[in-house]
Amino acid sequence: MARESTGASRALYPFSLLRWVILVTAGTFLGLLPPIAAYVAATRIDLPAWAVYPTVAMAGGLQGLLMGLGQALALYWTRAAVPRAGWTLITMAGALVAWSLGLLPATMRALDEPLDLDSRPVLWATVGGAVLLVLVVPLAHWLVLRRVMPGAGMWVVVESVAIVVALAAVWGFGQSVDPTRPLDDLLPQLALAGGAVALAFTLVTGLGMLMLAPRRGE
C-alpha cells in the first residue's frame, strides 16, 4: 500500500505533449550521435566490416539509453509514470537488439556474404528479423507500461509506426549522405538529418501517448 500511495502522490499532472516533444526529441537526437559517430569514424579509418558491426551496434545501445531516458523523464510525475532506471535499461537492451538486426544485411554484403533472398528460409528469416527489429523496443516498453496504463497494448502499434517512419527517414537521408566527405560539410547535414528523424519519431509517439495516457481521475 505504501508503494501505491507513493506512486499516486507523484501522479499530479496530466501528460504534456510539449514536455514529451522537448525531452524525447532531445534524447533521441543525442542518442543518434554515438552510432553516427561510430559509423563515420569506422569508415574513415577503414575498420573491417566484422569490427564495424559490434562497434556501431553497441553505440546503438547508447541511442536506446538516451531515448529511453528522455521518455521516462517526460512521463515522470504523470499517471503513466514508469520506473526511470528500468525503462531506460530495457530501452537500451531493445535498441541493441534492433541495431544488431538492422546492421546485419549491410555487414553480410561488406563481408561478401550477401543474404540469399532467393532461398525461402533466408527470406523468411529476413522478414522475421525485420519484424523483430520494429517490435522489440515497443514490446519491451509494453512490459512496463501495462502496469501503469490501461490499453498499453496500443502503445506497441503507436511506437512501431513511429519506428517505421523514423527508419524511412533514415533511409531517405542515407541516400544523400557520403560519409567520406569532409567533416565540415558532413556534420551540418548529419545534424539536420538526425534532428528530422528524432522529431518525426517523437511527434508520432507523443500524439499516441496523448491519446493513451490516463487522465486525472482515471
Q: What confidence tens digit (pLDDT) does each residue in 62-118 have?
A: 999 999 999 999 999 888 899 999 999 999 999 999 999 999 988 888 888 888 877
Tell me the three state secondary structure of residue 148. Answer: coil
- Report the C-alpha gap between 28 and 64 in whole angstroms: 8
What is the torsional sign of CA 65, 67, 70, 76? negative
The model's pTM is: 0.86
CB 26 within 8 A of CB 70: yes
Query: Using 50, 70 and 90 to split pLDDT, how confident is the model at 178?
Result: low
Query: Using 50, 70 and 90 to split pLDDT, how confident is the model at 10?
Result: low
How many C-beta neighbours within 10 Å does residue 39 have?
A: 18
At 179 the pLDDT is 63
Q: Is 2 a residue whose pLDDT tops 50? A: no
DSSP 149: S
Q: Is 38 a residue whose pLDDT tops 80? A: yes
